[in-house]
Amino acid sequence: MFRKELLELLRAAPRSIEDIARALELDPRDVEDDLRHLLRSVRHSGYRVVITPARCRHCGFVFHKDKLDKPGNCPRCRETWISPPLVHIEHPAKTDRTN
């Protein structure tokens, strides 16, 4: 049931792991494993996963999309002013097959 709730949260709006944990009243560390599993399984079911990577608000450095948790500091400028990565799941657009 938890992954179904998680799917509905991510379909509603882009969210960070911290946002998800807060909404489901869980520890953020507990959410990351379930989120990774959900992202693998929804890609095979026709949904589109959109990940906005974490970004340093000081120098603009963009982290890799595979990093789902918020980094501690920027490898370029060492600042800690980091925007967390956001995850969103979109239902695929229906294609018109009438000719």
pTM of the shown model: 0.83
CATH for 65: 1.10.10
Q: Which residues span the domain enclosing 52?
A: 2-90
Report if residue 95 sits inside a domain. no
- Calculate the CA dihedral of residues 54, 57, 58, 62 and round it to 10 degrees: 30
30-45 pLDDT, tens digit per residue, is 888 889 888 888 878 8
Report if residue 46 sits inside a domain. yes
Report if residue 99 sits inside a domain. no
Q: How many domains does the chain have?
A: 1
Other Cβ atoms less than 10 A from the Cβ of 60: the count is 10
Report if residue 68 sits inside a domain. yes
Q: Give residue 60's pLDDT.
A: 96
Q: Give residue 98's pLDDT.
A: 45
Looking at per-residue pLDDT, the higher value among 45 and 54 belongs to 54
Q: Give residue 61's pLDDT.
A: 97
Report if residue 63 sits inside a domain. yes
DSSP letter string, 48-61: EEEEE--EETTT--
Report if residue 34 sits inside a domain. yes
